[in-house]
């Protein structure tokens, strides 16, 4: 299995145990994860007190290149807080050092803000996919690139930047698996039957440059809240989804691992879909393997 979303570093809670590389490798071994994308943490000030920068990721990668896939990260306000900042040279430098993508983007600006659009453009120009954490708005107390309900701003970026690969993540993204989304619950983990598909399935169908990161409680909740629809969703979008855990805490529960094991064992999803989601799609996107 290839995990599309993991972290190393200290979080935001006092006395919270630190996830270091040894702890992360231990959890990967326990869960049967062969390789994991390692994402910088806290690059944007909204996300954390403590930073684990691209250079830190690359140091870990040098020691464990057989286990980790490095991503780089930038804040769209870096380099002068300008929509004309040239990010390409730095992204190219990180790519040459082994980085396969950019993320997790957490700066709390609207996803179609000129600053974000500029960063997205340069990611597409250099050929690095991005993982973005989607938030419900630009306001105190949250982090992530923000969108309104029904994801109009995300669609605008998908349409205007077809060369940029977007990988959606977090509650405001995955709550839109159903059309029965509302302002009260879309920033959390809404429960209940998916009576009709929402904007995420619609956009996954419509735009070849959009993918889904199933990590964390948000991704797991989306596919498990309505089991029958969840299995159907995995089959339908088997080429557009990535398995992930979002491990960032010691002894973190990751129910998505037994979920996939059980779904395969009980024939709820096909072996082909399973293999693509837990490994094949990541190889195809990050390593250009067919």
Q: Over the stretch 229-250, which tens digit does the pLDDT of each residue have?
A: 999 999 999 999 999 999 988 8
pLDDT at 55: 97
Q: Give the integer Cα–Cα distance in Å for 76 and 69.
A: 23
Check which CATH number belongs to the domain holding 189 and give it. Answer: 3.20.20.140
* Phi, psi angle pair for 78, to nearest 5°: -60, 160
The whole-chain average pLDDT of the chain stands at: 95
User: pLDDT at residue 193 above 70?
Assistant: yes
Structure tokens at 99: 């980085």
The 10s digit of each residue's pLDDT in 126-144 is 999 999 999 999 999 999 9
Query: Which residues constitute the domain of residue 107?
Result: 2-287
Q: Give the integer Cα–Cα distance in Å for 112 and 166.
A: 13
The 10s digit of each residue's pLDDT in 247-271 is 988 888 999 999 999 999 999 999 9
pLDDT at 13: 72
* Phi, psi angle pair for 227, to nearest 5°: -50, -45
How sure is the predictor about 105, in pLDDT bands with cuts at 50, 70 and 90?
very high
User: pLDDT at residue 290 above 70?
Assistant: no
pLDDT at 288: 84
Higher pLDDT, 113 or 18: 113
71: helix, coil or strand?
coil
User: pLDDT at residue 11 above 80?
Assistant: no
Provide the number of structural domains found in the chain: 1
The 10s digit of each residue's pLDDT in 25-78 is 999 999 999 999 999 988 898 887 778 899 999 999 999 999 999 999 999 999
| pTM for the full predicted model | 0.96
Over pLDDT 90: what percentage of the chain?
89
pLDDT at 3: 98
Instruction: Lowest mean pLDDT of 1-15, 204-218, 265-279, name the range.
Output: 1-15
pLDDT at 42: 81
Residue 26 near residue 66 (C-beta atoms within 8 A): no
């Amino acid at each position: 299995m290839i995990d599309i979303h993991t972290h190393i570093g200290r979080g935001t809670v006092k006395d919270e145990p630190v996830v270091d590389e040894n702890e992360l490798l231990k959890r990967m071994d326990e869960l049967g994860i062969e390789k994991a994308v390692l994402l910088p943490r806290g690059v944007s000030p909204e996300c954390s007190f403590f930073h684990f920068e691209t250079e830190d990721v690359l140091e870990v990668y040098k020691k464990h290149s057989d286990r980790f896939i490095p991503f780089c990260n930038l804040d769209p306000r870096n380099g002068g807080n300008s929509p004309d900042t040239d990010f390409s040279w730095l992204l190219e430098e990180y790519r040459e050092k082994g980085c396969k993508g950019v993320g997790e983007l957490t700066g709390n600006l609207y996803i179609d803000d000129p600053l974000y659009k500029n960063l997205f453009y340069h990611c597409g120009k250099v050929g690095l996919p991005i993982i973005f954490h989607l938030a419900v708005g630009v306001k105190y107390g949250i982090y992530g690139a923000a969108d309104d309900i029904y994801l109009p701003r995300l669609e605008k970026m998908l349409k205007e930047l077809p060369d940029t690969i977007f990988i959606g993540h977090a509650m405001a993204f995955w709550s839109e698996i159903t059309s029965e989304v509302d302002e009260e619950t879309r920033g959390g983990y809404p429960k209940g039957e998916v009576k009709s598909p929402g904007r995420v399935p619609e956009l996954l169908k419509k735009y070849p440059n959009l993918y889904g990161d199933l990590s964390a409680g948000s991704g797991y909740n989306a596919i498990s809240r309505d089991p029958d629809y969840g299995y159907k969703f995995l089959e339908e979008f088997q080429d557009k989804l990535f398995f992930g855990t979002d491990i960032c805490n010691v002894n973190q529960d990751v129910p998505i691992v037994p979920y996939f094991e059980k779904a395969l064992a009980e024939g709820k999803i096909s072996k082909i879909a399973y293999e693509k989601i837990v490994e094949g799609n990541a190889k195809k996107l990050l390593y250009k393997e067919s």
